[in-house]
Chains A and B, each alone.
Chain A
C-alpha cells in the first residue's frame, strides 16, 4: 500500500481525529454515549454513511454541476441516512437501539464530518481512496464514541453491553456520569492525553 493511501486511512484515526482534533460531531458524541451498544450502532451507522456517500459522490464527481453540488451531496447523504435508519428499524435486534438513538440517527445528515469529508476529499479524489477516507473518518469518530461510552456505561450503570461488571462488586452507579456534562469532561481528558502525546497540536 502506498504511503499516501496509508496516511488517508491512519490520519483521521489519531492525528487528525474528527472529534478530538477537528472538534466535529461533539453534539452526538455527548448524546449517544450513555451505553456501549448505542455508541457502537451509532459508530457503525456513521461509518456506513461516510464511506458509501464518499464513494458515490466520488464516482459522480466529474458529472456534478458545480452550482448545485451541495444539494447533490445532501441528496446522497440524506438517502444513505434514511436507508440506515430504515434498516435499523426493520431488525428486531436493532429496533430498540434505533428508538433509543431516536433523532441522532437522522441527524447524521447534519454531521460536519460527512459533508466535510465529501467537500474536502471525495470531490477531488478517485473512488477507492475516497471510500477509505470516509470509512477512516467514521472509524475515528466511532473510536472516541466507544471510549467515552465505555467509561460512561461502566461508571454510570456499572455494566458493559448491558452485562453487570462493577455491579457485581456492590458498586453504586454514579448518576453524574449518565448526564451529558460528564461526556464533555471525558472528552476533555481524551483531548488532554492526545495533546500531551502529540506535541505539535499544542498552541504556543
Chain B
C-alpha cells in the first residue's frame, strides 16, 4: 500500500483526529459529574480556609462528603447582591461559586463586550460571623481566584485563600502554596471608601519599628512573582470595589465608619465621615468636612 499518497494522508489524519476527538469528548462527558463534585468540595475547603475553620492542609484531610457536611453545618446565610449592595435573592445553601461561575461574573463586573448580564455577586456568611466573598482575575499565565473573609466590622480581613490555574511553580504559585502569604492578609483592613481597596506592594509594605506589618490595606508582594502579584492586586481591587457598597452598608450601626479607629472622633462628627486606613495604622488624612474637628476625610455617600 502506498502510504505516501496525498489522498491517503489526508483521509488517514482526518479519521484519526475524528476518532480521538470523539473518544475524548465521550470520556470528558462521562467523567464530568465526578470532576464537578471534586471541584465543588475543593471550592468548599477553600472557602472554609478563608473563613478560618482550619488550615487548608487540615481541611484537605477530610473526604468530599465530610467537607460538604462541614460546610452545611457552618454556613449561615448565602445570597447574591448587585453592585449597589442590594440583596437580589437567596442562594441555596449548597451552592458555591467555583472558578467557572466567577469567570462569568468577572466579565459582568468589568463590563465590555463579554458582559452578558448585570453582575450578581455572591455573599457567604458563616456561623462564626465571618463574611466570605470571592475574587477572580488574571495572573501571569492563566486565571487566578480566591476567597477573602471579613470580620463582623465589615472591613478587617479574617482570612484568605487563593488558587490559580497555571502560575509558575515556586514563584507565582505561592499565592496558593505559601500559607505565610495568605496569613499576611489577616488583620489588614480593606479601604472600601477608595477605588484602590487593597494593595499588594512591591518593595515592601510599610512596617512598624519591629518589622510587623501595619494595620492598613497594604501587604508585601511575592518576590520573583511581580506579574502574579499585580494580577492578584487587580483582582482583589476589582472585586472588593464591587462589594464596597455592600460592606459600607453592612458595617455595624455603632460604627458608622467601616474603618473605625480610636484616634478619630468620627462618632461625634455630625456628617457622614469615613475614616480611611492610612500609612501608620488607621488614621484620617485631611478632613474636608467643615463640621469635623479632627483630621478626617469626608466621603460622599
Contacts and interface: CB of A to CB of B under 8 A. Distances in A.
B166 interface: yes
B28 interface: yes
B16 interface: yes
Contacts of A66: 3-4
A102 B42 contact: no
A86 B20 CA distance: 14
B3 A65 contact: yes
Contacts of B60: 96
Contacts of A3: none
B16 A75 contact: yes
Contact of B9 (A67, A78, A86, A96): A67
A79 B170 contact: no
Interface in B151-173: 166, 169-170, 173
B64 interface: yes
A92 B65 CA distance: 10
A147 interface: no
A184 B34 CA distance: 37
Contact of B31 (A63, A78, A79, A89): A89
Among B16, B23, B41, B63, chain A packs the most CB atoms within 10 A around the CB of: B16
A70 to B, nearest CB: 12
B24 interface: yes
B38 interface: yes
Interface of A: 31, 62-68, 71-72, 75-76, 78-79, 82-83, 86-87, 89-92, 95-96, 99, 102-103, 179-180
Going nearest first, the 7 A-B pairs with the smallest beta carbon separation are: A90-B34, A65-B9, A95-B38, A90-B31, A79-B20, A65-B3, A89-B35
